[in-house]
Structure 1
């Protein structure tokens, strides 16, 4: 009640501003028989429930100031003692954006970076823990946008230079520009990232390339991107890697959608990976792209598995909108390695084929504030897939899960001029 009273008072002294206070409850039970890593002989299935709870406070005064604070608690049911005194709340987002003109602004603080198809800069909603502490300069008009971000991280209040302790970049800058031409879109991204090597020196990589969205007709859209990556890895290897994505979206009717595409990142063969004299790396680093939004819902690639060999993902995604509340999705992925994988026992070259994954998702929207999904994913893996994980023959590769999301609005007010 005190918070609501404070928000009400806040809105009374402004001529034109809005404040909203929202919640988000995301409950995710999972029955795992091979989620993120295969099951082997003797393993038992896992069953757990992850819950993420958010309190979201937003403020806007048009052409002047915007702000957002998101506090969240992320836990697994039963992951602490019955009387444990454990602090779990964290600041997920805390930024303020000042508009110097209607077109030019600067956003400062903890924020998410979401660009293009989110292959290298994305905001993972599945787990929701990634944040960037940065300054973001924005210039935006109706048909043109340009963003420049600058970030520099430290352990804390460093009165003298210290070795950076966290698994995050020491510094990063990126420049992103977007141009709209009628119904078409063209963007270009340049990222410079410095990862500390364990001392006070950093290994820098540069990633750059275009993204395009072309509307071929009212029902058919093409999206494509190509990123080239050079520089130095933390291990001191010279980096020469690339990533591309191409897809066609076809919507023959309001009830049916198809996506046919390929996502592919280069990799380094396992001979080179195990060679202490190797000085080259061809493994594309996806930086801060979506972990769960690409490469299948089993999360076998670019999540827990290092995936230094690179992956090609050829996919067909189908969505049937049964009605305004109920939809069915089916995704078929054919995964292959980009670089050669060699057998650990006899050093023979293995097939590039990793396996075929099928993801089925049923979505039901009960109301504007409550929705639920039930999903099942299964991988029909190969000997190569077994090789890049444990080396043993897997028994099962599947998962059954649900996602329940409630998004209540606790308070909202708007004062007009």
Structure 2
């Protein structure tokens, strides 16, 4: 028996040794606490309001497996505020963990694999919960700034050959697999279990409904909530029912040109209300019931070019243009565009960027019955349109579109242990908008200054501090659905983050 055990141990040791020669296993952990003081983050503060302060934390653990034939990643994530949970919780508190990533990539062809010849450099299929990150993350990104991040449940075919890259992605979403459930109607959001009705009473959220709420979390009165006019699906309350995309890119020396065709389809809904009785007080919950057949389909397509200028490659041009057509999530015919152009100059530890973004919107004086509000899909808006997230993040955007003229500078110290960046944004409406009296609004919205510093303590930990100031014009209040008489036109925000991210590779 002892001889058998010794042979078994020897066999397992040889097997593990063989696996280690062919594969690599690594474990990555991340603890990211962030302290914030918000005095007008995402929207203008109201007169008489006081700043909010809190500590949030992301805790993530990822297992990575890589071999010539398969790559896997599983990332378990917990995101919460300090003090959000009681010191002792019960089963009634519900689930607290979430899977951020869980995917496998089957490598079907690899020219670098010595086991045989391959017709292409690389061909693989990735399936499962995954991040979609392309180009500079303007349209598709992981939104890593947000503690929750962004991911998709998708199937992606990946091809690389001769400097070309081509990806084909597919997704189909559903919210239940109950035996008694028929059809494919999809309630496309994670909604709170409870909500306030039109009278301010607490009520359970009706099944299959996304409530329409105002900024205070109270159900709409007369079916007209403050947030119903938000155009963006980027972090807001209506996920797609299904999507398909084709991404292609080609590197030509140091330059890169890429193209994207992205189709996302949104379930149709009907407006509905549910009566709620609290004692003798009767209120209503207004919302959208996603029980209608069919979908509204939207198509986004465009090109982006990254082109180095000059032999020393210190100057780089980035330019792109995208068009959005079909129908938006509410069924309106859509014709919208976005353009971007920027110049970046880098020299030693310094870099400077000047750029201009234009995102189309509606013109109140030229209504053709279509929506012209461009939605920048599922990217990382925090990176492009100001760190205070006034535009195209979870706070929506201006109905008149956006002009964003910006200047950015950054210094990275020797060894890259210390860096500091300073950005300036000038925001204005692209289309004409009217105030409550029917007069034209000034197009100028406001100016934002962002300052961010980072310091690497060691290879495992980095500390980051940032602050931002917003000096808004009177038109900003209208774009946020606030009476200008009740809004303060100056806002501020600051944060302090500690990034701790050790990684261990098993050899």
1:388 Cα deviation from its structure 2 partner = 1.3
Contact 2:144 2:150 in 1 (8 A): no
Do structure 1's residue 362 and structure 2's residue 453 form an aligned pair?
Answer: yes
Structure 1 residues 270, 289: closer, same or farther in 2, change over 3 A?
Answer: farther
Q: Which has the higher strand share?
A: 1
Do structure 1's residue 194 and structure 2's residue 265 form an aligned pair?
Answer: yes
Which secondary structure does the structure 1 equivalent of 2:143 belong to?
coil
Which residue of 2 is the match for residue 132 of structure 1?
152
Contact 1:11 1:19 in 2 (8 A): no
C-alpha distance in 2, partners of 1:270/1:126?
Answer: 34
- 1:210 corresponds, among 279, 296, 303, to 303
Runs of 4 or more off by more than 6 Å in structure 1?
none
Which secondary structure does the structure 1 equivalent of 2:438 belong to?
coil
Report the structure number with the largest CA radius of gyration.
Answer: 2
1:157 Cα deviation from its structure 2 partner = 1.9
- Residues 79-158 of structure 1 correspond to what in structure 2 (within 5 A)? 79-85=84-90, 86=93, 87-102=95-110, 103-127=122-146, 128-157=148-177
Which residue of 2 is the match for residue 184 of structure 1?
255
Which secondary structure does the structure 1 equivalent of 2:478 belong to?
helix
Which residue of 2 is the match for residue 331 of structure 1?
423
C-alpha distance in 2, partners of 1:314/1:244?
Answer: 12
CA displacement 1:293-344 (0-9 Å, x = unmatched): 1200111111213433211111000001233311111000000111112111
C-alpha distance in 1, partners of 2:477/2:76?
Answer: 40
C-alpha distance in 2, partners of 1:186/1:385?
Answer: 36
CA displacement 1:80-128 (0-9 Å, x = unmatched): 2222234211000000000111111100000111111212111100123
CA displacement 1:226-252 (0-9 Å, x = unmatched): 10110012322110000011111101x
- Residues 251-400 of structure 1 correspond to what in structure 2 (within 5 A)? 251=346, 253-270=347-364, 279-303=369-393, 304-324=395-415, 325-344=417-436, 346-389=437-480, 390-393=482-485, 394-395=487-488, 396-400=490-494
TM-score by length of 2: 0.76
Contact 2:141 2:150 in 1 (8 A): no
Contact 1:359 1:375 in 2 (8 A): yes
C-alpha distance in 1, partners of 2:365/2:136?
Answer: 32
Contact 2:320 2:340 in 1 (8 A): yes
Structure 1 residues 57, 183: closer, same or farther in 2, change over 3 A?
Answer: same
Which secondary structure does the structure 2 equivalent of 1:205 belong to?
strand
TM-score by length of 1: 0.92
Give the number of equivalent residue pairs: 399
Contact 1:51 1:75 in 2 (8 A): yes
